[in-house]
A and B are shown apart, each in its own frame.
Chain A
C-alpha cells in the first residue's frame, strides 16, 4: 500500500504488558494447580485411568494458562492503554499498523508448538489407558449388555454367571465387551474413569483396572429415551476373595441377552426383576455421590402433550 504510516509514538505499553503477562502466567499456573483438585472432585478416583485423567486435567489447565492470559492481557489491556476517553468519535484514526511476516510466523509457530505438546501428551496417555495387561495377568472378562433402561453383566469365565449389579475384584485387569439390545447407550463408571458406547449389533471394548476397594456408581451417558435419567446403578470393587464368593453365588443362565450368539432371538425381553443372583440383598452402599435420590415417576404418560 502506498500509505504513509503515521509516525508511531514510542511504545512503552508493550513492555508493561509483557511484564504483566509474565506475572499473570505464574500466578495463573499456581492457582490452577492449587484449585483444580479442589474443584474437580468427581467420585473417588479408583483406577489408574481415572487418576491419569485427573493429572491431564491439571496439566491441560496449566498449559492453557499462557493462552488464556495472552488473550486477556493483550486484549483487555487495550482498554487501559488505548481507550479513547469519551464516547464521541475519536478525532484521529489509530496508526496504520499491519503485521509483518515475522510476528505472523512467530504466532503460528507458537500456537503450533502448543498444540503439538498437547497432542503428544494425549497420545502417551491414550496408549497408557488402552494398554493391554501384562501377559501373565489374570484378566477378567465382563460382557455388558445395555437395554432400555439398564445394564446387564455376564461373567463368561464364570459359567456365564449373570448379574444386574457390577462387582469387580480390585487390582485385576478387566476387559469389558459391550453391546446393546435396542438403542445406543453409553456405559460408564466415573470413578474408574471410562466410558464406552453400547451399540446394537456391534461389540465395543474397554479396559480398566480398579485400584481401590469401594462402592461407586455406573450410569448411561447417552440419551436413550424415556428413562435415560434413571439408567444408573451401583458398582462395587471388592477384594479378590469376596468377588469369588459373590460371582459363584450368581445364578447361571445359558447364553445371556443375545450376546456372543448369532441367532438367539430376543424380542426385547425386559428381564424380570432379579435375574442377577442375590440381588435382593444388594443395595447401594457407601458414598455413591452420583446416584439419584428420587425414583422415576410412575406412569409417565406416553406423551405429556397429547
Chain B
C-alpha cells in the first residue's frame, strides 16, 4: 500500500461506547416510528386549531389549512424524533440527551435499526441519504416513464392535460431535488470528514436535521397529487402558482424544506472543511471532491434564500391573499392590465426564482465534475494535470453563476437592455468549465488507464456533457434562444448536462466508493450492462429532443402536432429501455450490498485518506487523528513511498 499519510492502525474501543444490547423500548423511542406518529398528531392538531380560529369564508379554499397542517406535521415529526430534546435541554441548561449518541459499542452499531432514527453519525446519515436519494431517483424516473407513456402516441390517450402537467412538475422538481443531494448527500456526508481526517461533521445535529428535513420535505412533496395536483412546471412561475390547484401548497412547503435541508447540510460540510482538517491537510492538499463540495456549499447557501423568499411569498399569496405577484387593484378582485396598480409583479418571482435556479444548475454540476476528476486521477494513475486550475474552475463557475441568471429571461421582456450582458457572462462560463475539461483530459493523457467502471463513466461524461454544454452555448445566444426557448431543445440541453455531470458522476462514485462503504464491490458484469445500456438508450432518447426542439415542439405539452409522431414514439420506446436499464442498476446496488464480491481496504490503490482506513469504516473513522504528509494525487512518484516521518504525534485522546 503506497501512502505517506500517517494513519494509526489500531481501533481501540473508545469512550462513550456502552456494550450490551439496548431494549426494544430504547430502540423504538424515539425513532422514525415515533416521528411518524408525532407528524400525524401534529398535522391534526394544527388543522384543528386553524379550523377553530379562522373565519368560515377563509376556509373556502383548503390552502390555509394545508399550510398549517404541513407546518404541524413538520413540528410533530421533529418532536417525535427527539430532535428537539437537545435545544430544549440546552435552554434549560441541562446535559445533552443520551438517545442521540452515535455509537455505543459494537452490538449497537451493527444493527439495522440505527438507520431508522435520529442518529448523529455522519456515516449513518450518509447511508440514509443514499437510500432516500435512490428512492427519489426511482420516483422521479417513474414520473419520466409516465411522461413518455403519454407522449408515446398523440392525442393524450393516457392522461388528461392537468394530470400530465402535474406529472411533469413533479418529475422535474423531484429530479432536481434528487440531483442536488445525490452526491453531496450520500457521499459528501460519508466521506467529507474521512477525507479531511476528522471523526465527524462540525455539527452532527444539524447534519441529522438536514436528512430529516429532506425526508419530510419529500413526503410533503409527494402529497401533491392528493391535494389537487398543480400545473406550473418546476419553475412554479407565479401568478400561475397563485392561481393553480392547492397542490401548490404541498409543492412550496416541500421545496422550502428541501432547500433548507440542503443549505444546512452543505454549510455544515463547509464549516467542517474549514475548521476540522487534520494536521497537515493544507488547502492545496484537499482532494478535488472537497473543492467541489466547497463550491456547491457557497452556491447553495448564497442562492437558496432567494427562492425561499419567492416560495414564502407564493404561500402568503395563496393562504393569506397578499399581492406579491398578482396584479390586481388592492382591496378588490378586479384585474387591470396596465402597469402600476398597487399590485404585484410577475418579474419579481421570475427573478427570485432564477437568481436561485441558475446557481442551482451548477449545484447539480459541480459535485459531479469534482467526483469525476477525483476518479480520473485514481484510474489513470497520474496526478491531476492542473490541480490549481481545477480549483479555479470550480470557484470561477461558482462566482460566475451569480451573474448570469438573466439568460433564462431573454424572452420575458424583463430588462431587455441587459440581454447583451447576460449573453456575455453566460458565454464566459465556458472558460472555467473548460478548466475542468483540461484537467480531466490532461490527466487521462499518457496515463495508465485502468478501465474500471468509474473511469468508463468519465468517458461517458466527456461525451454527454460536451454535447450538453455546447447546446447551452447555443441557448446563450439571444436571438437563437428566442427561437429555441420553451422548446424541447432546452429539454435536451438540460437532460444532457444534468445527467452527464451529476448522474454520471454519481454512478462513477457508486462504483468507486461502494467497496469503502459496504466492503463489497458492485457487480461488474451488471455494471457494464448498465453502462452500455444507459449510454446507448440515453443518447437515442435525448438526441431526439434536440431534433424535435429545432422543429419547434414546445415543452410541457400533453399533445403534439403530427410532425412529431414518429420521433416521440421513438424517444418513448428508448426511454422505457433506459428505465429498464436503470432497474438493473438498482438491482445491482441491492444485490451487491449483501452478496457482492468482498473488497480489501484499498482495492483501487488510491492515495486519499478515506482509503487508508478499513472497509467498512469503523465507527470513529480514525483511532487517533491522522497526519497528512502530501497532496491527494501523488501518483507516478518513484516506486517506494518514503517512510512516515518520525516523531509526528497524533493528537492525544482521553483514555488512551
Are A and B close enough to touch in the complex, i.e. CB under 8 Å?
Answer: yes
Closest to B483 in A: A53
**Nearest Cβ in chain A — how far from B473, in angstroms?**
6
Binds B, one of A19-27, A97-105, A234-242, A275-283: A97-105
Point out the residues of chain B lying under 8 angstroms from A57, CB to CB. Answer: 474, 480, 550
The answer on a CB contact under 8 Å between A300 and B162 is: yes
Asked whether B41 is an interface residue with its Cβ less than 8 Å from the other chain, the reply is no
Closest to B604 in A: A89
Point out the residues of chain B lying under 8 angstroms from A273, CB to CB. Answer: none
**Nearest Cβ in chain B — how far from A60, in angstroms?**
5
Asked whether A259 is an interface residue with its Cβ less than 8 Å from the other chain, the reply is yes
The answer on a CB contact under 8 Å between A258 and B243 is: no
The answer on a CB contact under 8 Å between B556 and A223 is: yes
Q: Mark A75-98, 1 if CB is under 8 A from B, else 0.
A: 110110111100101101111111
The answer on a CB contact under 8 Å between B160 and A265 is: no
The answer on a CB contact under 8 Å between B474 and A305 is: no
Asked whether A293 is an interface residue with its Cβ less than 8 Å from the other chain, the reply is yes
User: Given A95-B446, A118-B477, A221-B485, is A75 in contact with B459 using a C-beta cutoff of 8 Å?
Assistant: yes
Point out the residues of chain B lying under 8 angstroms from A49, CB to CB. Answer: 479
The answer on a CB contact under 8 Å between A195 and B411 is: yes
Cβ 8 A contact of A126, one of B232, B383, B420: B420
Point out the residues of chain A lying under 8 angstroms from B445, CB to CB. Answer: 74, 78, 82, 97
Looking at chain A's contact residues, the main secondary structure is loop
Cβ 8 A contact of B474, one of A60, A71, A90, A228: A60
The answer on a CB contact under 8 Å between A196 and B411 is: yes
Report the bound CA distance from A296 to B154 in whole Å: 12
The answer on a CB contact under 8 Å between B240 and A183 is: yes
Chain B residues numbered 525-560 whose CB sits less than 8 Å from any CB in chain A: 547, 550-552, 554-560
Q: Mark B614-656, 1 if CB is under 8 A from A, else 0.
A: 0000000000000000010011111000000000000000000
The answer on a CB contact under 8 Å between B228 and A306 is: yes
Cβ 8 A contact of A71, one of B448, B466, B477: B466
The answer on a CB contact under 8 Å between B486 and A202 is: no
The answer on a CB contact under 8 Å between A223 and B483 is: no
Point out the residues of chain A lying under 8 angstroms from B384, CB to CB. Answer: 98
Asked whether B419 is an interface residue with its Cβ less than 8 Å from the other chain, the reply is yes
Chain A residues numbered 194-227 whose CB sits less than 8 Å from any CB in chain B: 194-197, 199-205, 219-227
The answer on a CB contact under 8 Å between B334 and A123 is: no
Point out the residues of chain A lying under 8 angstroms from B463, CB to CB. Answer: 72
Chain A residues numbered 99-115 whose CB sits less than 8 Å from any CB in chain B: 99, 103-104, 107-108, 111-112, 114-115
User: Given A96-B635, A289-B563, is A126 in contact with B419 using a C-beta cutoff of 8 Å?
Assistant: yes
Asked whether A151 is an interface residue with its Cβ less than 8 Å from the other chain, the reply is no
**Nearest Cβ in chain B — how far from A5, in angstroms?**
8
Report the bound CA distance from A268 to B423 in whole Å: 37
Q: Mark A34-70, 1 if CB is under 8 A from B, else 0.
A: 0000011111000001101100110010001001100
Binds A, one of B176-184, B299-307, B433-441: B433-441
User: Given A68-B470, A182-B335, A263-B336, is A304 in contact with B229 using a C-beta cutoff of 8 Å?
Assistant: yes
Cβ 8 A contact of B552, one of A190, A293, A297: A190
Point out the residues of chain B lying under 8 angstroms from A99, CB to CB. Answer: 385-386, 389, 438, 442
- The number of residue pairs between A and B whose CB atoms lie closer than 8 Å in the complex comes to 384
Interface centre among A6, A87, A220, A305 (most CB of B within 10 A): A305
Point out the residues of chain A lying under 8 angstroms from B385, CB to CB. Answer: 97-99
Report the bound CA distance from A292 to B382 in whole Å: 56
Asked whether B60 is an interface residue with its Cβ less than 8 Å from the other chain, the reply is no
Q: Mark B432-467, 1 if CB is under 8 A from A, else 0.
A: 001101101110111111111000000100110011
Interface centre among A84, A184, A227, A258 (most CB of B within 10 A): A184
Asked whether B401 is an interface residue with its Cβ less than 8 Å from the other chain, the reply is no
The answer on a CB contact under 8 Å between A98 and B482 is: no
Asked whether B105 is an interface residue with its Cβ less than 8 Å from the other chain, the reply is no
Binds B, one of A160-168, A173-181, A246-254: A173-181
Report the bound CA distance from A260 to B345 in whole Å: 18
The answer on a CB contact under 8 Å between B441 and A74 is: yes
Cβ 8 A contact of A297, one of B160, B239, B335, B441: B160
Report the bound CA distance from A60 to B154 in whole Å: 33
Point out the residues of chain A lying under 8 angstroms from B416, CB to CB. Answer: 130
The answer on a CB contact under 8 Å between A119 and B423 is: yes
Chain B residues numbered 200-244 whose CB sits less than 8 Å from any CB in chain A: 225-229, 231-233, 235, 237, 239-240, 243-244
Task: Pick 14 A–B contacts, CB within 8 A, sort by A.
Answer: A68-B467, A93-B637, A94-B636, A99-B438, A181-B337, A182-B335, A186-B486, A190-B552, A201-B337, A203-B339, A229-B164, A292-B154, A300-B161, A302-B162
Chain A residues within 8 Å of B, Cβ to Cβ: 1, 3-6, 8, 11, 13, 39-43, 49-50, 52-53, 56-57, 60, 64, 67-68, 71-72, 74-76, 78-79, 81-84, 87, 89-90, 92-99, 103-104, 107-108, 111-112, 114-115, 118-119, 121-123, 125-126, 129-130, 145, 178-184, 186, 188, 190, 193-197, 199-205, 219-230, 257-268, 289-294, 296-297, 300-306
